[in-house]
Amino acid sequence: MRPFGERLRAATDSRGPLCVGIDPHASLLRGWGLTDDAAGLETFAMTCVEALAAEVAVLKPQSAFFERHGSRGVAVLERLISAAREQGALVVLDAKRGDIGSTMQGYADAYVDQGSPLAADAVTVNPFLGFESLRPMLDTAHAHGAGVFVVALTSNPEGWQVQRARGRHGSVAGEVLDAIRVENVGAEPMGSVGAVVGANLASLDEDVAINGPLLAPGFGAQGGGPDDLRRLFSKVPQLLLPSTSREVLRTGPGITALRAAARRTIGVVEATVG
């Protein structure tokens, strides 16, 4: 399999730079007139695939909202990942796993080893046990042509307590970004290790030129808009992958409405960052 960074660039060039999060929380299921159980979850997930998997570059299912329904929910997640990839969307599994040693290897085997039924194109991880604790995930992803998105500067207001704390050479987030940059040295057209950097941050003092993709949640319903994308990412527009969920999903359950919302959002992003 070609490296994730190469595949992501090809996907965004052809479909536009947008990631749509698939976050089937209880209120959204109810808003679609669905039951908050595995049956409702499956209808929701497969509707999203039908509407969006052939339209957008990246889909990002949030693992927690599937896990909350137990084994049947995880089975729906497996089907969603497989069906979305078959239709050409790249799938980033939003799991934000973080651990050490054999446990981290277990997560890697589950999410980026392409022999796993849960294998995605990329996975989100948490580096705050130390960046090198991610090594099993990074190495396994590299071996399978998959990607890793490392949490750096998140869209939630509590994140500053850790991410903006001072490390030995700057902010903790800055040191995480430095480590990602090393992983991506020499990669063309960009590396396969990305960073999660919120699209609704009040400021961005860290250098996010990491030669890898910048997954930017918080665009849309969480307050991040076109002006924020320009303000935060004007120096690295070629790396930017804004992520939105409710802005698109609340237009469902109609297939036509979901597609139209995704296309509108892609148009806004393209007009903003070129």
Active site residue 96: yes
The Cβ of residue 234 has, within 10 Å, a number of other Cβ atoms equal to 11
Q: Kindly write down the DSSP assignment for every residue of the chain, as one continuous string.
A: ---HHHHHHHHHHHH-S-EEEE---HHHHHHTT--SSHHHHHHHHHHHHHHHTTT-SEEEEBHHHHHTTHHHHHHHHHHHHHHHHHTT-EEEEEEEE---HHHHHHHHHHHTSTTSTT--SEEEE--TT-GGGGHHHHHHHHHHT-EEEEEEE-SSGGGHHHHTSB-SSSBHHHHHHHHHHHHTTT-SS--SEEEEE-TT-S---S----SS-EEE--BSTTSB-HHHHHHHHTT-GGGEEEEESHHHHTT-S-HHHHHHHHHHHHHHHHHHH-
Query: Considering 96, 164, 250, 263, which one is annotated as catalytic?
Result: 96
Instruction: Determine the distance from the C-alpha atom of residue 240 to the mean position of all C-alpha atoms in its chain, rounded to a whole number.
Output: 12
CA-wise closest residue to 196 among 170, 235, 234, 163: 163
Catalytic residue set: 96
